[in-house]
């Protein structure tokens, strides 16, 4: 049975075209099908053989070697862009020219001005822009957010968000070695968005970066101090140093939050501990398991489904999406604010 037909689709499916047939397309596609509300009818890739392989695997009827041809000839409800970041801006502009809503992979753009131009292009064309930013949709992170918003630990005043791993991330994504800007754009887009999701907007930041690998162009370690508008302090630590760690559950994020009435912790292996004057309550909130997901990326791949379901709800007029282009601009400002801070060794106040 093909992955495309392993889930029953409802009659309210939206037709979309997929631009890109690389590593992440193999997981975003079944994520769309898992929602039972979307159907891929065409796929483009600049290396046409890759698009043909993906189309055969997912029973996609049409393959294109030119994105303009796909958008001009197919009857679509939206476009999903899963190409390299350097192509995001022209692809988004192309979708906007064809008056098609567009979903774009993160990181959104190669620079802040480019991201702002992409959002403006969609606004001017009167089409919606969404970002497939799924980290905040991870089951354990959503569960931690519920704890914080319940008031169980009072007002959060300090937190630490850690995504530190020795996982050989370059083995299955070797193109990452060639990026001049790596961990802040690739992983920081996730962790900084998570900080905003949990604690609100950022007043100021200070960042330091390092390069541990000797055969890569960008940074593979970053430490960020955020001062939130709420007054809380949040430290974000990231590393893909590929060193030996006693505890490493890639790609899990560990989070510890101190509040005025207690503390909350998302520990490795999806354990949540909430400590108040009444004692400590412990529960495990593992992600759902999908047959198509890579076990090494389980918590990430499973979060694709609720993220895309949320986007589809917005496209169908049933509610607002969390990860719009306008919202993601705030995360993009943090990412490039971190690079500015690291270069100048100073505190940066992200432009609002």
Q: Flag whether 14 is in a domain.
A: yes
Within a domain: residue 293?
Answer: no
Same domain, 245 and 225: yes
Domain that holds residue 116: 3-132
- Residue 113 and residue 153 share a domain: no
Assigned domain for 266 exists: yes
Q: What is the pLDDT of residue 296?
A: 85
Q: CB under 8 Å to 87, separation ≥6 — which residues?
A: 81
Percentage of residues in the chain having pLDDT higher than 90: 91
Q: Residues 129-184: pLDDT tens digits?
A: 999 999 999 999 999 999 999 999 999 999 999 999 999 999 888 989 999 999 99
The DSSP H or E segment spanning 212 is none
Looking at the fold, whether 203 and 337 belong to one and the same domain comes out as yes
Q: Say whether both 140 and 122 belong to one domain.
A: no
SS (H, E, C) 231-299: CCEEEEEEECCCCCCCCCCCCCCEEEEEECCEEEEEECCCEEEEEECCEEEEEECCCCCCCCCCHHHHH
Are residues 216 and 107 part of one domain? Answer: no
Residues 190 and 271 in one domain: yes
175 and 273 inside one domain: yes
What CATH code is carried by the domain that includes residue 12?
3.40.50.720
Quick check: 151 and 119 in contact, CB under 8 A?
Answer: no
Residue where a domain terminates, one of 132, 154, 174: 132
CA distance 40 to 190: 26
Position 197 in a domain: yes
Give the number of domains in the chain: 2
- pLDDT of 5 > 80? The answer is no
Q: Are residues 56 and 173 in the same domain?
A: no
For position 216, which CATH number holds? 3.30.360.10
Do 125 and 143 fall within a single domain? no
The last residue of one of the domains, among 95, 114, 132, is 132
Residue 7 confidence (pLDDT):
42
- Provide the mean pLDDT of the chain: 95
Over residues 273-277, the mean pLDDT reads 98
Whether 306 shows a pLDDT value over 60: the answer reads: yes
Q: For the chain, first and last CA: distance in Å?
A: 49
159 and 234 in a single domain? The answer is yes
Confidence of residue 11 (pLDDT cuts 50, 70, 90): low
Domain ends where: 85, 101, 132?
Answer: 132
- 107 and 36 together in one domain: yes
Assess whether 177 and 257 both reside in one domain. Answer: yes
pLDDT digits (tens, 9 = 90+) for 213-240: 999 999 999 999 999 999 999 999 999 9
- Residue 16 placed within a domain: yes
The alpha carbon of 287 is separated from its chain's Cα centroid by a whole number of angstroms, namely 16
Residue 9 has pLDDT above 80, yes or no: no
The least confident of 23-27, 203-207, 336-340 is: 23-27
Q: Using pLDDT thresholds of 50, 70 and 90, give the confidence band for residue 249.
A: confident
Q: Does residue 119 register a pLDDT over 60? A: yes
Mean pLDDT of 34-50: 97
**300 located within any domain:** no
State yes or no: pLDDT of 10 exceeds 60. no
The stretch 234-257 carries a mean pLDDT of 93
How high is the pLDDT of residue 260?
98
The answer to the question of residue 309 being in a domain is no
Is residue 290 predicted with pLDDT exceeding 50? yes
**What is residue 352's predicted lDDT score, i.e. its pLDDT?**
62
The reported pLDDT for the residue numbered 3 is 44
Tokens of 252: 């899990």
């Amino acid at each position: 049975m093909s992955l495309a037909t392993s889930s029953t689709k409802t009659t309210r499916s939206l037709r979309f075209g997929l631009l890109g047939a690389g590593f992440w397309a193999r997981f975003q596609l079944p994520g769309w099908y898992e929602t039972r509300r979307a159907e891929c009818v065409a796929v483009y890739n600049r290396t046409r053989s890759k698009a043909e392989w993906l189309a055969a695997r997912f029973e996609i009827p049409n393959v294109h070697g030119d994105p303009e041809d796909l958008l001009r000839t197919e009857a679509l409800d939206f476009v999903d862009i899963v190409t390299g970041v350097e192509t995001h801006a022209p692809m988004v502009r192309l979708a906007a020219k064809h008056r098609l809503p567009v979903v774009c992979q993160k990181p959104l753009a190669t620079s802040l001005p480019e991201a702002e131009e992409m959002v403006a292009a969609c606004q001017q064309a009167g089409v919606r822009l969404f970002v497939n930013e799924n980290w905040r949709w991870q089951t354990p992170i959503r569960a931690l957010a519920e704890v914080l918003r319940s008031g169980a630990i009072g007002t959060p005043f300090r937190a630490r968000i850690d995504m530190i791993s020795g996982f050989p991330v370059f083995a299955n994504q070797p193109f990452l070695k060639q990026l001049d800007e790596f961990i802040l754009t690739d992983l920081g887009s996730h962790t900084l968005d998570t900080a905003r999701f949990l604690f609100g907007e950022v007043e100021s930041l200070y960042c330091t970066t390092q390069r541990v690998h000797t055969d890569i162009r960008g940074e593979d370690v970053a430490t960020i101090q955020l001062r939130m508008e709420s007054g809380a302090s949040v430290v974000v630590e990231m590393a893909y140093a590929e060193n030996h760690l006693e505890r490493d559950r890639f790609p899990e994020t560990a989070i510890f939050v101190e509040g005025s009435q207690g503390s909350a912790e998302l520990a490795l292996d999806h354990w949540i501990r909430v400590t108040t004057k009444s004692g400590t309550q412990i529960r495990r909130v593992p992600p759902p398991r999908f047959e198509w997901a890579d076990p090494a990326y389980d918590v990430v791949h499973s979060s694709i489904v609720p993220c895309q379901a949320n986007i589809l709800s917005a496209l169908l007029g049933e509610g607002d999406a969390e990860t719009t282009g306008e919202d993601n601009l705030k995360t993009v400002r943090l990412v490039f604010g971190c690079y500015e801070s690291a270069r100048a060794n100073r505190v940066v106040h992200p432009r609002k």
